[in-house]
Amino acid sequence: MNRYPLRLSELRKAKNLKQSDVADLLKITTRHYQEVEYGKINLSMTTLIKLANFYDVSIDYLVGRTDSPKIYR
């Protein structure tokens, strides 16, 4: 099961953003982002990296490999 749709929704809501706000950031349509957040389509690696950087979390956290959003640098 992919965890990133739930994680994306939680992170977006924590920043008080709308789906359209995140879509604009990624330069994709709101509909496309909605399909990502609803788990209907997969993220590209480029988009995954952009989202991890924007939310300041690790990719492992986004995809559910860890429950710690911490980035180790």
Q: Region 2-7: what's the mean pLDDT?
A: 86
Comparing C-alpha atoms, which of 72, 73, 25 is closest to residue 8?
25
Q: Provide the whole-model pTM.
A: 0.85
- DSSP letters spanning 25-73: HHTS-HHHHHHHHTTSSPPPHHHHHHHHHHHT--HHHHHTS-S--PPP-
CATH class belonging to 4-63? mainly alpha
Asked if pLDDT for residue 70 goes beyond 80, the answer is no
The pLDDT tens digits for 44-64 are 899 999 999 999 999 999 988
The pLDDT tens digits for 21-31 are 999 999 999 99
The domains of the chain are located at 4-63
Phi, psi of 25 (to 5 degrees): -60, -40
Residue 19 to residue 26: CA distance in whole angstroms:
11
